[in-house]
């Protein structure tokens, strides 16, 4: 057992270093982690590593709830470390080993200083040279250059019309970077279901791409040398990307945000009971956010009370909404009954929007599907659902329980599971949709489908605009009542359809939003 003096030596050492941290043998998640004297982990944004402590001969990383997530065995003193490195076990998946490498704080600060000096030098030349005007990228090439950083096949449809239009326009030069998707800065996804699946879709669409497996900093450097004029990232969440592709390392170019959801006006931000999703700090970096419709008064007010600028928002309609509207019906279950699409959100714990109901209802849905052999029931889980179950401690549900459910559910003659692909063909083919959200609350309204919304108690509150969107849904708070409503809607016309038409009208008004986006880029570059 480590005595008090040894523990003090370790705590002093750990607070005087900067660290690289990540999976053993792979590109680190960060090279700038700091273990602060107050027990917090700073310079790193994952909820899995928020606090640290030295306890029982171990350095422990703790999550937001102060639960241990990674444990590093410590030698008697820091001088016994091999190559300044500690190897620890990720407690939520013991097969995963984490590596922590110490760097001298003076050297780390020198690196930061050098970056700052280079930044100041760049700004000096911008200001002094007549051929480098401040705030304006110089056209040193004959094409407008745009790079996409892609990590999700499921949300690719929100960008595909623009990607194809750019490929066909001789004025633009296009680069598509593909990376594996991570969750809260941890890669917990099956590689064959993320980057390679994404690349398969791009290949089938005749699109060339640059596959980035691990050297993210190298890819970032080459993208800068290529001099991208515009960069599009697939989501606004920095935690879904390695450090190299975080917002503050990309805004040397003009960042474009095209939401993978149609609208962000439905709820307050996660963990808050008011406010707007449009005040996300990511949007401080963004040159233009192309919205589906004009800002509402409440959104304008929230933006005015933040450092986000109203200037970045440009309503153009929604490529995703048009894609959903035009989706061809496809039903993967060979069964002749009425078709029920059941979608499940990933926010099943208490750390996000708290809409997910899967742990409470999956047994009931299994029994209901068995009892109604006249129905064809397709389960469509959010791409993150399994990963959340695996990484968060949920009462009464393990990842083994989830996998057992999938196996039993798919063994039923009238049931199936849809994963790792777009769900809009299935929703277009469905007769009724049962969902706990989040995007499904409004996306399937575009297809004029009867939608039963199962709301979980304590979810993130709806905004006034979100409550208006609910007018297109049949809202229930009890799974038995929701199942009864599904059966009723199979027999009777949907009285919500008129509301759905009104709610979605603005999103569908422009047949080609991608052309408006391209024109905005041309105008910015002076074409």
The answer to whether the beta carbons of residues 311 and 408 sit under 8 Å apart is: no
SS3 call for 259: coil
Best CA proximity match to 257, nearest among 397, 162, 387, 141: 162
pLDDT, position 126: 43
Alpha-carbon distance 173 to 167, whole Å?
7
Best CA proximity match to 187, nearest among 158, 161, 164, 212: 212
The rounded average pLDDT for each run of 10 residues, N- to C-terminus, in the chain (527 residues) is 84 88 85 87 84 93 91 90 90 92 59 44 41 43 92 87 94 94 52 71 94 92 94 90 92 93 79 76 94 88 92 93 93 93 90 86 97 97 86 83 96 93 91 91 94 91 87 96 97 96 92 93 88
What is Dmax (Cα atoms) for the chain?
A: 76
Residues 6+ apart with CB under 8 A from 197: 153, 420
Phi, psi angles (nearest 5°) of residue 434: -110, 125
Sheet order of strands, 68-73 included: 41-42, 30-35, 17-23, 97-104, 85-90, 68-73, 58-62, 51-55
In angstroms, the Cα distances linking 344 to 4, 264, 348 are: 49, 19, 9
Say how many C-beta atoms besides its own lie within 10 A of residue 248's C-beta.
Answer: 12
DSSP string of 116-168, one letter each residue: HHHHHHHHHHHHH-TTS-TT-----SSSEEEEEEE--STTGGGTHHHHHHHHH
244 conformational bin, left if phi > 0, alpha if psi -120 to 50, beta if neither: alpha
44, two tokens: 């790193």
Residue matched to tokens 């440009």: 314
DSSP string of 169-226, one letter each residue: -TTEEEEEEE----BTTB--S-GGGTHHHHHHHHHHTT---EE-SS-HHHHHHHHHHH
The answer to whether the beta carbons of residues 517 and 158 sit under 8 Å apart is: no
Best CA proximity match to 232, nearest among 134, 137, 280, 162: 162
User: What domains appear along the chain, each with residue ranges and CATH number?
Assistant: 4-105 (no CATH), 139-317+512-524 (3.40.50.2000), 328-508 (3.40.50.2000)
The answer to whether the beta carbons of residues 358 and 387 sit under 8 Å apart is: no
pTM: 0.65
pLDDT, position 254: 96
pLDDT, position 383: 82
For residue 263, give the DSSP letter: -
What secondary structure, in 3-state letters, does 20-55 show? Answer: EEEECCCCCCEEEEEECCCCEEECCCCCCCCEEEEE
- What is the β-pairing status of strands 313-315 and 451-454? unpaired
Residues 6+ apart with CB under 8 A from 524: 254, 287
pLDDT, position 142: 81
Say how many C-beta atoms besides its own lie within 10 A of residue 106's C-beta.
Answer: 10
pLDDT, position 80: 87
SS3 call for 372: coil
Phi, psi angles (nearest 5°) of residue 481: -65, -35
Alpha-carbon distance 222 to 440, whole Å?
38
Alpha-carbon distance 414 to 30, whole Å?
47
Best CA proximity match to 313, nearest among 291, 282, 335: 291
Phi, psi angles (nearest 5°) of residue 399: -65, -30
| Burial (0-12, 13-18, 19+ Cβ within 10 Å), 245 | buried
Residue matched to tokens 């029982």: 56
């Amino acid at each position: 057992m480590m005595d008090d003096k040894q523990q003090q030596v370790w705590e002093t050492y750990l607070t005087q270093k900067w660290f690289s941290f990540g999976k053993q043998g792979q590109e680190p998640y960060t090279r700038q982690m700091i273990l602060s004297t107050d027990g917090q982990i700073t310079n790193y944004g994952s909820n899995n590593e928020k606090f640290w402590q030295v306890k029982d001969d171990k350095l422990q990383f703790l999550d937001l709830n102060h639960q241990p997530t990674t444990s590093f065995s410590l030698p008697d003193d820091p001088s016994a470390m091999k190559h300044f490195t500690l190897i620890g076990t990720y407690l939520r998946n013991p097969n995963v080993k984490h590596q922590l490498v110490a760097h001298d704080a003076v050297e780390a600060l020198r690196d930061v200083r050098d970056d700052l000096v280079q930044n100041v030098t760049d700004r000096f030349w911008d200001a002094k040279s007549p051929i480098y005007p401040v705030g304006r990228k110089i056209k040193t090439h004959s094409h407008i250059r745009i790079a996409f950083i892609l990590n999700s096949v499921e949300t690719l449809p929100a960008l595909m019309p623009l990607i194809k239009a750019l490929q066909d326009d001789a004025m633009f030069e296009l680069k598509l970077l593909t990376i594996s998707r991570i969750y809260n800065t941890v890669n917990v996804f099956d590689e064959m279901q993320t980057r390679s699946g994404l690349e398969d879709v791009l290949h089938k669409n005749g699109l060339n791409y640059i596959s980035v497996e691990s050297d993210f900093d190298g890819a970032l450097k080459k993208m800068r040398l290529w001099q991208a004029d515009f960069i599009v990232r697939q989501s606004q969440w920095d935690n879904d990307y390695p450090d190299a592709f975080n917002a503050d390392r990309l805004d040397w170019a003009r960042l474009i945000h095209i939401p993978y959801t149609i609208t962000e006006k439905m709820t307050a931000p996660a963990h808050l009971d008011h406010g707007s999703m449009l005040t996300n700090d990511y949007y401080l970096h963004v040159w233009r956010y192309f919205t589906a419709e004009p800002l509402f008064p409440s959104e304008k007010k929230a933006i005015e009370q933040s450092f986000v600028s109203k200037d970045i928002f440009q309503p153009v309609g929604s490529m995703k909404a048009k894609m959903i509207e035009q989706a061809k019906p496809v039903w993967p279950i060979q069964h002749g009954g009425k078709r029920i699409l059941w979608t499940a959100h990933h926010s099943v714990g208490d750390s996000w929007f708290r809409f997910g109901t899967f742990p409470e209802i999956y047994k009931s849905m299994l029994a209901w599907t068995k009892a109604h052999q006249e129905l064809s029931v397709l389960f469509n889980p959010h791409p993150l659902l399994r990963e959340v179950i695996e990484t968060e401690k949920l009462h009464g549900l393990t990842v083994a329980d989830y996998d057992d459910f999938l196996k039993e559910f798919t063994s039923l003659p009238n049931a199936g599971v849809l994963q790792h692909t777009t769900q809009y063909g299935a929703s277009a083919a469905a007769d009724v949709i049962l969902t706990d959200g989040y995007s499904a609350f409004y996306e399937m309204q575009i297809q004029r489908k009867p939608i039963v919304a199962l709301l979980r108690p304590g979810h993130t509150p709806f905004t006034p605009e979100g409550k208006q969107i609910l007018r297109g849904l049949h809202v229930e708070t009890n799974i038995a009542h929701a199942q009864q409503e599904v059966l009723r809607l199979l027999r009777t016309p949907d009285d919500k359809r008129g509301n759905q038409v009104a709610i979605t009208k603005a999103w569908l008004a422009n047949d080609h939003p991608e052309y408006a986006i391209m024109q905005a880029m041309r105008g910015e570059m002076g074409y």
